[in-house]
Amino acid sequence: MSSNDIITSLTHKAKFFEYSLDFMCVLTVDGIIQDANTSLLTSFGYSIKDIKGKSLLHLIAETDRSEFVTAFDDMRNISHPISIECRLDDTGNLDQMWYLWTLYPEVDGYHLAIGRDISAYKLMEDKERERKIFAEALLDTVLAINTSLSLEQVLRRILSNVGRVVTFDYVNILLVSGRYAQIVGSHRRSPQRIDVRLNDEHQFLIADNHYLKRMTTAQGYLIIDHVEESLHWMTAGDAIYKTGSFLGSPIIVDEELIGFIGIFYEQADFFTPLHAQQLMTFANQVGIAINNAHLYAQSQSIAVLQERQRVAQELHDSVNQDLFAASTYADLLVKAINRKPDIAIRYSKDIAQLIRGAVDQMRMILIELHPDALAKTPLPILIDRLAQTFTKRTGIPIIFHNQHNFILNEKTQIEVYRIVQEILHNVEKHAQAGKVQIQMIYKFSRLELTVEDNGIGFDQTQVDEFHYGLQNMQDRASAIGASLNIDSPVGVGTTIKLVKVDIDEE
């Protein structure tokens, strides 16, 4: 049967080949075009003479061609259609368009290929992804409102989240004191750097600064499309950015101006009212979190607040994110059921796994909240439970080596447990590890604990994003008279070793 015979047969059964808005073509088993419909020819500006004999890959963006090569190989051994999402080659106005190509099994030496425009669907996916990222940034900042974080910790969290709200090259936070605004934190995108400087002396009289004054008067955002001179008040003497665009928002709590967020991007005409509205929404939550940090600094119930911080942090880092991810998959599941049933099955399994992980983690938190749970349970059992919950939630296996069970004095036992907890948190968030090993040796009143992962490691001079987590581990080790050594060559992995001698047992 020739390609013309296939076209004739299709036309008799359903007259859509020539009139379809979808791209349609007949291919050899090697992907060579033998015939194409009007929609495809018109869109690319080809005649059938131009396109006949060319590979379908000629129409596909180079970065997406490998999937087609694999698909043609697979079609030799299967009898069902294969669908592939791809971008078209940079032709005309099609460079930003996405198509779903479906290759149908060979009939007498020929394949039928149909390309359907899914650009609108991909755009919807991108917007949904942006919405989720923005929601996560808000969620993380809202969490800071209800946790007992210091002002420095709150500022670091805010600065690390700004990039999920709007693209930037440089961002800073200023707090208001009387008639002045003082820079307290900044985040530079390249090279990556977060600075929090609560005692910095760079202050600016609001009335003398045009931009700050405008935001104060309007109580709203400010967009400057063309910044033509260095914003010295943005960069506090480190004015490396000369021209571009600026977006600013006041930070207001209970109708009181407490600060500003300023964002600079080197591309002019970049920021839009949508960016500004998102920044204003973010700034509202930032203000509450900063106020809460001030209240925390004034609080006398430090022990109670620290415990509340720990529980809230665990809820955020595990249960909250698992449930948030499950919610995201549930939203996508509804769309996938009709469009891609095979993906819907995967989403269902992912939802079930995330919820099981959240339940396991919540069970661990409830155990920890029991007055005697951490103090009266053998430490190796606690670490083993922690490891099992971690693996269920993340899929990262943990190999735990321990010789026997033992219970240490309450303070040492709890601090060691918390250190392991923080280490595993950092592995999950930053290490990109495939496995973790924990070795615990206890004899002759000496504890040696080693946690090793095969992740990407990190430069210990560039640890802004999770500096307070590392510092927290060092502080806990010092509190019980233990040494804590961190060895983390970039690209090799991280090994953390804790040694505590002269331990009193229960």
Does any domain span residue 35? yes
Q: pTM score, two decimals?
A: 0.41
Say what the pLDDT of residue 400 is: 94
Residue 78 backbone dihedrals phi, psi, to 5 degrees: -125, 165
Say what the pLDDT of residue 193 is: 83
Q: Does residue 463 surpass a pLDDT of 90?
A: no
Q: State whether 87 and 157 are in the same domain.
A: no
| CATH code of the domain containing 60 | 3.30.450.20
Kindly state the average pLDDT of the residues 234-255: 74
Q: State whether 279 and 159 are in the same domain.
A: yes
- In this structure, the strands spanning 398-402 and 436-443 are parallel
Least-confidence region, from 39-53, 262-276, 350-364:
350-364
Two tokens, residue 71: 């698909």
Q: State whether 400 and 501 are in the same domain.
A: yes
Burial profile 12-41: b = 16 or more Cβ within 10 angstroms, e = fewer: eeeeebeebebbbbbbbeebbbbbbbebbb
| CATH code of the domain containing 187 | 3.30.450.40
Q: Using one digit for the tens of pLDDT, what is the confidence trace for 280-333?
A: 888 887 888 887 777 766 654 444 445 555 555 655 555 556 666 666 667 666
Q: Using one digit for the tens of pLDDT, what is the confidence trace for 380-418?
A: 999 998 898 888 878 899 999 998 899 999 889 889 998
Q: Range of 178's domain?
A: 147-298
CB-based burial of residue 343 (10 Å sphere; 0-12 exposed, 13-18 middle, 19+ buried)?
middle
Residue 106 backbone dihedrals phi, psi, to 5 degrees: -65, 135
> Of the candidates 263, 298, 333, which is a domain's last residue?
298
Q: State whether 294 and 153 are in the same domain.
A: yes
Does any domain span residue 217? yes
Angle, CA 499 vertex, CA 410 and CA 488 arms, to 5°: 120
Indicate the average pLDDT of the chain: 78
Say what the pLDDT of residue 304 is: 47
Two tokens, residue 278: 């998102």
Does any domain span residue 361? no
Q: State whether 156 and 88 are in the same domain.
A: no
Q: State whether 397 and 504 are in the same domain.
A: yes
Q: State whether 111 and 151 are in the same domain.
A: no
Least-confidence region, from 60-74, 130-144, 157-171, 486-500:
130-144
Q: Using one digit for the tens of pLDDT, what is the confidence trace for 66-114?
A: 888 888 888 888 788 888 888 876 554 445 678 888 998 888 888 889 8
Q: State whether 79 and 167 are in the same domain.
A: no
Two tokens, residue 15: 């007259």
Q: How far apart are the first and last CA of the chain?
A: 86
> How many domains does one find in the chain?
3
Q: Does residue 146 surpass a pLDDT of 70?
A: no
Q: State whether 435 and 502 are in the same domain.
A: yes
Does any domain span residue 244? yes
Kindly state the average pLDDT of the residues 355-378: 66
Quick one: which of 341, 410, 352 has its CA closest to 379? 410
Say what the pLDDT of residue 299 is: 53
> Of the candidates 246, 263, 298, which is a domain's last residue?
298
- Rounded to whole angstroms, the Cα distance separating 396 from 393 reads 8
- Rounded to whole angstroms, the Cα distance separating 362 from 358 reads 6
Q: In terms of DSSP H, where are the helices of 299-407?
A: 302-314, 321-339, 341-369, 373-376, 379-394
Say what the pLDDT of residue 20 is: 78
Say what the pLDDT of residue 454 is: 94
* C-alpha distances out from residue 462 to 225, 425, 430, Å: 33, 18, 13
Does any domain span residue 221? yes
Are 364 and 310 spatial neighbours (Cβ–Cβ below 8 Å)? no
| CATH code of the domain containing 492 | 3.30.565.10
Comparing 293 with 216, which gets the higher pLDDT? Answer: 216
Say what the pLDDT of residue 324 is: 63
Q: State whether 112 and 159 are in the same domain.
A: no
Comparing 138 with 263, which gets the higher pLDDT? Answer: 263
Say what the pLDDT of residue 96 is: 62
Q: Above pLDDT 70, what percent of the chain?
A: 69
> Of the candidates 298, 326, 358, which is a domain's last residue?
298
Does any domain span residue 199? yes
Q: State whether 151 and 250 are in the same domain.
A: yes
Does any domain span residue 142? no
Q: State whether 112 and 167 are in the same domain.
A: no
Q: Is 26 left (phi over 0), alpha (psi -120 to 50) or beta?
A: beta
Residues paired with 205 in a beta bridge: 180
* C-alpha distances out from residue 6 to 13, 34, 125, Å: 11, 11, 36
Does any domain span residue 105? yes
